[in-house]
Every structure is written in structure tokens, then in C-alpha cells.
Structure 1
């Protein structure tokens, strides 16, 4: 029974579930009290709620082999502060290495299982929230949600998210990262979690930034800024290039090769390694995220680098000699 629960859990979190899959899942739970009991026991570490608060975040479109199907979300539910625990116990109860191998491989990170919304390798996905706001997640990104009568908060755990905020004068919309909070009432902006810093890019209107230490700053439309836990840099127009992933591109204007490769990694399974010498070379151009082999070939042809493909899962980039 536990393996069936894990299989449903993985399917619903994969971002590939169709409307029919969701209906089949509800039918499976209703078919036998033992099914419902097993589901509640193995997902009890997710605060005893229905899986992932499906009423608060659901895919804007389901993957289908033919015509596109419309999403059929579960009814919205009351939102409680999250107290999530890792699903190691559930995986252990499943008694199979196959489930752990599946979620732990390069296509779907293990940490995504416990997130409210997440994407796999090479996947950008749009989610609709219960208030009408929308999230666009970059590849290998994950967020948790915390909606209360006083505020709406998205906790960015990994990767990047672009938020289209539905106006609500009573509840500000917050994106929380490890370094601080980005606040808006009604706007569209992108936030990326990087190593010990956050990047915010504003498409419309403006946002307020508050770092963990209490420093404040404003970022207006057409500009972007980086901030860490203590301070925010001066907003700059050139940082708008950080949001090119929304359209499936890496945009570089003199950026170090290491940054371009870092943008490609979430779109490629396996290891993509660049040497320190090659990583410091400046790059300019546009490179497709959805075809990393083409991007690597373009970089090889325009730069003094050597790209070695040892296997489809391991690529090494060094300065050409």
C-alpha cells in the first residue's frame, strides 16, 4: 500500500500530472478506506493536510498528449503555517529503492517532493495561486506558500520565480529568500536565489526590498538589483538580462563564462563542469536554455575553449590549448 502512496505522491509533484491523473488519484482514495488511511499516515509529516495544499497552488496547464486540458484544482482550503518534515519515513515505508532513485536522480530533485510548487530539470512551469496571482518557476526551482489574512508569502527555496501579483490592498505579496524580503502590492517581478545573495528584477511598477539586517531599498521597473543579508546594491538596467530565462534564453553581455554555464546547469542532467581559467572568460550573446548542446556548441565556436563530452552525463569545459 505504501508504494502506491509514494507513486501518487511523485506523480502529483512531478508537474506532469494530467487532469485525468488527478481525478484518478481522488477515485483511488475514495475506493477503499485503507487507501485513504495509508495516504493520511504517509503524508502526515506534511502537517496532516491534504497533499501540498492543492487549493493554493496548482499548475496553470496540464501536460497532455493531445489537446490541452484545463486544470481542475481541488477546492481551496484553510491555510496554516507550514511545519513540514522530510519524507524519509514515508520513503522508508515504501520499501523500495526505486522511488528514492526516481526522486533523487537528475531529473527530479529529492527536495522537490516536500515543496508546494517545484520544477524538474529542464522545466519551466506556471502556477496559479488561490488569489489569482501567478508564479513562473525556472528549472529546478521550488517554493513554499504561506497565505494568511494579513499577507501572502512565497518562500523561494531554490532557483528563480517570476511573480505576477493579483492586487489586494489588505494583503501585501512577499517573496522571502535567505537574504531578505521583496514586497509588492500589485506588480510583476523576478526573484532568484543565488549563493548568499538574491537578485530581483522588476518588469512593472516597483518593489521594496528589506534585507535580513533591516536595510531597505526600492527597485523600479526596468531595473534589477542584488542584495545580501546586510545591504542592497544600486539598481541597474543591465540586470534585466537576469530574467531572460523566462523566454528560454541566457543573455550575456560581457558576463563570465562561469555564470552562463551556471544558467545552463538546471536545464541539463548530469555534470557540466567549467575550469577556473575558462570560467573567467567574458561572454556576449544569446544562448538557448532548452537545447544545451546547441548552446555549448555555440560557445565552443565563438570562444577559445574546448568542450569535452565524456558521456551524455558529463561535460568538461577548459581553455583551448
Structure 2
């Protein structure tokens, strides 16, 4: 009677991955085992991720944890017993024959890798230069798009998914995982995802959070407090909030989705925005500093659509439309001011 390969499609994803690691490293894996493993691996990206995570942790134990020698020897002995049972049985059940041995070996491996998992969270760092953008897919399948001059750190463990945004702006599309909350720390605030898509902008004066889909919770600490705000803001689709380093949070309000999220499409859209704000935004993508010298020009309204990779034409366009003149000072500074009265013609 044909031998049936024990099922590794029951239990949690981690338990399944543990069983495959134990089976494939037992020295007795058959071609049928390997075909079933390939099918299991191809069932979804989360399968491959879980297997690779546990494989790296198991490999890291080799030669580094002498105290685990006894436990590993026990696991090998159990696999020898499993192999003997497998050869002697013409027909058997994974639960009744394999599990006493294979399950014990898997349990040893699970405890060891879980111990390492809690102590060795994976950390990734991502950044972009001025004018550059980058989209990354995280280990859990979530996606992050980094805008210009952005730096963030990603730290994943078995229990948490933690992002720290050190500077810049990022758009998050979060893959749901009830076991591991997705949290973004920015300055003195914490953004916890309860939904799907949101954007965070860390500017010098304040942090702004915008929600496109789902729900997020925003909590802020005051400078002299160690905990989060007692009553965090709950933002839903189409809402935004901002907070500063003093722990002050704005009221929840709606926002212009097309304008705020236009950078994802390679554009900057302004609708009657103050000149000072427009120049500040353009400067985020340019190598030069842009400095507005005349305070009386700050509130001039500006409307328009500009392409992020063609921003050298923004200043000449503004000069034609507004009573301003710009000139360079060295290689890293553009000064914007009023033109002499005789040259304005206004």
C-alpha cells in the first residue's frame, strides 16, 4: 500500500513551518516530502516568510548555544524513532504515529526559535535622498512608500510590528494581523493602525496624520510624561490630525485627498496655498534652500500643479504670476523677495 506523507497543513502557520524544518533536516525526507513542501511554500508569501524566519533563527543557534545540546540530541533521537516507525508501518496516521516523535522534536525547535524570536527582532532601515521616492514591501506584506528626504526604521517580532519615522513622509498600506499590532512612532506620538491606509508627515513644527482607508488611533505624550495620551484621537477615512512636541493635538478635520496625497503620483498640487507654504514644500524636493525674505509676501495665494521631477521651473512660473523676484546666493541658496518698485510694473 502506498505510503502517505504526514500532513503539515494543520495548526498555526508557525507550527506548520516548524514541522517542515524538522522534517527537512531529519535526513529522511523523501522526494514526496519535498514536493509537498514546495506546494506548501507556494501557497502564499506568508508561508515563505515564516519558513525563512525560522530557518534563519535555527541556523543562528548552530555552535552558539551549548546549553541546548541535550535538547537537540533528544530531538534527533526522537526523529530516529520516527524514522523506524515510518519504515515499519505500511499505513499510518500522522497524528497517531508521527506526532509522538515528530511533535516532540517540533516542540523543542518551536521553544528554541520562539526564545530567539523574542530576543532577536528583525530590524530594517530605509531612507530616501532629497527629490527621491521609494516603495518597499515589508516582511508581513505591508507596503510603505517613502517620500523625499525620509528615514524610517522597521522592527518586527512575533508580537509587534513597530515603525519609527525619524524624518520625512511615508504612506502606509497595512496588511491586517490581529496577533501583531502595526504601530508607527513619530516624535512624541504613536499611531496605531486599526485599518488599512494612512500617511504620516514629520515636519519641523508638527506631525500630521491623514487617513485614506480604515481607522487609526493617534496618541501623544507631553514632554514630561512617559505614557500615551489618556484619550487618543480616533481618525477615520478622510480625516486628519496634527500634533506638536509639546503634546498639543489639533482638532480632527477633513482634508483634500487629491492635494495631500498628490506626491504619490509624482505631483505637487496647490489650491490657494500661502506662498510661504508652497516654497517650503518645493524646497523639500530641491537641493537648495529657498528663503523668503519679505514677510509681506508670505500669504500670497498660489494655485497650480507641478511635477516633482520638473520643479526647477516653479520659481520662474511664480515670478511671472506674483510680485516676486528670485536670485541665487552661492550654490545652495535661493533668495525670494520683492523686486525693486521701478521693475515691477504692478
Q: TM-score, normalised by structure 1?
A: 0.61
Cα distance in 2 for residues equivalent to 1:137 and 1:241: 17
In the alignment, structure 1 residue 318 sits paired with structure 2 residue 316 = no
Cα distance in 1 for residues equivalent to 2:280 and 2:120: 35
Match of 1:62 in 2: none
Match of 1:244 in 2: 262
1:162-311 matches, within 5 Å, as 162-213=171-222, 214=229, 215-228=231-244, 229-238=247-256, 241-275=259-293, 276-310=295-329
In the alignment, is the contact (CA less than 8 A) between 1:174 and 1:184 conserved in 2?
yes
Cα distance in 2 for residues equivalent to 1:240 and 1:180: 26
Shift of 1:299: 1.8
Counterpart of 1:127 in 2: which secondary structure? strand
In the alignment, is the contact (CA less than 8 A) between 1:227 and 1:233 conserved in 2?
no
Shift of 1:158: 0.5
Shift of 1:126: 0.4
Cα distance in 2 for residues equivalent to 1:150 and 1:183: 14
Residue 200 and residue 176 in structure 1: after superposition, are their counterparts in 2 closer, same or farther (change >3 A)? same
Match of 1:153 in 2: 162
Cα distance in 2 for residues equivalent to 1:131 and 1:253: 37
1:40-189 matches, within 5 Å, as 76=53, 80=120, 116-189=125-198
Deviations 1:38-73 (A, max 9, x none): xxxxxxxxxxxxxxxxxxxxxxxxxxxxxxxxxxxx
Instruction: Give unpaired runs (5+ residues) of structure 2.
Output: 1-51, 57-116, 223-228, 341-346
Could you tell which deviates more after superposition, 233-242 or 148-157? 233-242
Counterpart of 2:284 in 1: which secondary structure? helix
What RMSD over aligned residues (CA atoms) do the two structures have, in Å?
Answer: 2.4
Residue 223 and residue 299 in structure 1: after superposition, are their counterparts in 2 closer, same or farther (change >3 A)? farther
In the alignment, is the contact (CA less than 8 A) between 2:268 and 2:305 conserved in 1?
yes
Structure of higher CA gyration radius: 2
Deviations 1:132-163 (A, max 9, x none): 11110011100011212222111110000000
Q: Which has the higher helix share?
A: 2
In the alignment, is the contact (CA less than 8 A) between 1:178 and 1:196 conserved in 2?
no
Deviations 1:192-220 (A, max 9, x none): 00124211111111211111240411222
Shift of 1:310: 4.4
Residue 241 and residue 227 in structure 1: after superposition, are their counterparts in 2 closer, same or farther (change >3 A)? farther
Q: TM-score, normalised by structure 2?
A: 0.57
In the alignment, is the contact (CA less than 8 A) between 1:225 and 1:239 conserved in 2?
no
